[in-house]
Structure 1
Amino acid sequence: MTTTLTQPVRLESELAAGIVDGPGGYTGVEAGPEWAAEVRRLATLRNATILAHNYQLPAIQDIADHVGDSLALARAAAAAPEQTIVFCGVHFMAESAKILSPEKTVLIPDERAGCSLADSITAADLREWKSEHPDAVVVSYVNTTAEVKALTDICCTSSNAVDVVESIDPDREVLFLPDQFLGAHVKRVTGRDNIHIWAGECHVHAGINGEELTAQVEASPDAELFVHPECGCATSALYLAGEGTVPEDRVKILSTGGMLDQASQTKAEKVLVATEVGMLYQLRKAAPEVDFQPVNDRAACPYMKMITPAALLRSLAVGADEVHVDEQTAHAARLSVERMIGHGDPGSGE
């Protein structure tokens, strides 16, 4: 689809001229008032809405029309009256927006912003796995590519993964992919022994380990724990609760959307947060009286951080980078996402 501008876009601004492409993404522009004004001007001219994931840089979150998780943002894209969606996140998220809004133009400020978790299983991998278990039901986390979603029976989020798996005939095998830590959480909660789990991971979440969590708990014994189920420390958090090191009611295994909901309800003075560090910005805004601290302050996704102020300005100025999903793939993927929404509470995304 060709973007129709309400009026010509002026590309000869000094800001756009200063953009350079480097190894970590586009640079050369600072996120100041001039940048913000130019971004808003171009968004208006392109009839565009800007969506930003919770893991984005604070400046990107502040300029966005909507901030949230991938599923919430895909829904916002579908509901938005604007015909152009600028998705500040990683590539599979922009694909999801395109799947749910096929008639709209979807741009990602840097198409190189990938995802180690989504990349941990390909469509070819899934076809081979399915051939080994021909009667199994395929459950895919939304953090997957469009091609994988198209081969999936039903998608899930971290909020409703347990409900989705429990809805499946207990005699049917389940192939759960791609995150091994979320899969282990689902298997533990459901008690299901016929669930096969793909050995994928988000390298950022997997790097938040149990030793770090234990050390943080020992240093702050009265803190509450917000732990994303993709984390390598999720099992350790439940172990600490089971051993009584941390009271069970202070251990929360939550999606990032769930963390925001819980932030407004917590009575704790301090909360240890195990997820990508970009989430701290939204948590601190939601509950400024609470001391939110990362379990691992190095847990920053380099792909998320490729969506720089310069990349966003470039995307709006020249219409880059457009996301395409072929019609057949999009149709099949859309069905697996729509089936997910009827099970439990899909929450706001991953």
Structure 2
Amino acid sequence: MPFTLHFGEADLLRCRFALSPLWETQEAVRTLARPERHGYHLPWLRRLREARVAEELDFTPLQILMPHRGHNPDCLYPPPIGPAATFDEEIARVRATDPESARDDLAYALADAGTSDRPEARAMLADPARAVRELADLIERAWNTLIAPDWPRLRALLEADIAYHSRRLADVGLEGLLRELHPRLEWDGTSTLTLAKTDDHRRDLDGAGLVLMPSVFSWPDLVSGFDPPWQPTLVYPARGIAGLWAAPSSRTPETLARLLGRVRAEVLCALDDPTGTTTLAHRLGLAPSSVSAHLSVLRDAGLLRSRRYGHQVLYERTPLGIALATEGARPDDT
């Protein structure tokens, strides 16, 4: 039987997009233990091996709480509070978890994972307050080691996904958007969203709405859950993962460089997806103030458009900007 989410009229007005550095952290830890996911992140895994991360950090206490199918402890990875939530804000919520509610949540996950009899599991349930502290500390170390060095790149991809699907929402409406997010999603046309090929479960949203959250490290899985009091959340595979770990091209077309100036041409060519100033500066190895000035000129010239998303402004090419960047990169350019 499928997993079904039932919408009321108020729920249709309370669907929102979000992204979560905390979620990506836990899914990165999960990916380390799942060889079937390794092929999507080989450059990332290679760098971790070279840094001997596995020898320095033991993620077992987190991984025994991660069943292949079943409940994950919501208290450790609650839905994000907004589109611009930081890791520090999210981990602070984890540290503030009530120990008694955490104990029930941890016990549920351990039972689904079949790891309740392990010594680490028994220690968690015997002292849930200590377990929350130690697990939060380990999650923070995982963030600093696995995600933080690449967060500008990951955030750029996630924000580009949200920008794309926000446009699709305007074009095709919620029903059309839900059908496009994942092939396992089915909308009945009125009030019910069905996740095929999963456990039998029913949840009435009851006015809480639904969080739609793209994920890099969950790819290609579709994840739904979060029991009350958490807001229902649907985690779907982010677009663009194929190019996530690819090294940026070092070649800016000479014709475009002569037309715009080399740095300005590099800024234009680097905008394959909607991107903010800080992320673009990190990608190009330039000062944010310099990138900001070039973005303003390109926008004033009609080559870029900008839109505000959360705490930052995202830039993307206009049709004219796309034409210049792609025409300038033709093979006969010398």
Output the TM-score relative to the length of structure 2.
0.25
Output the TM-score relative to the length of structure 1.
0.24
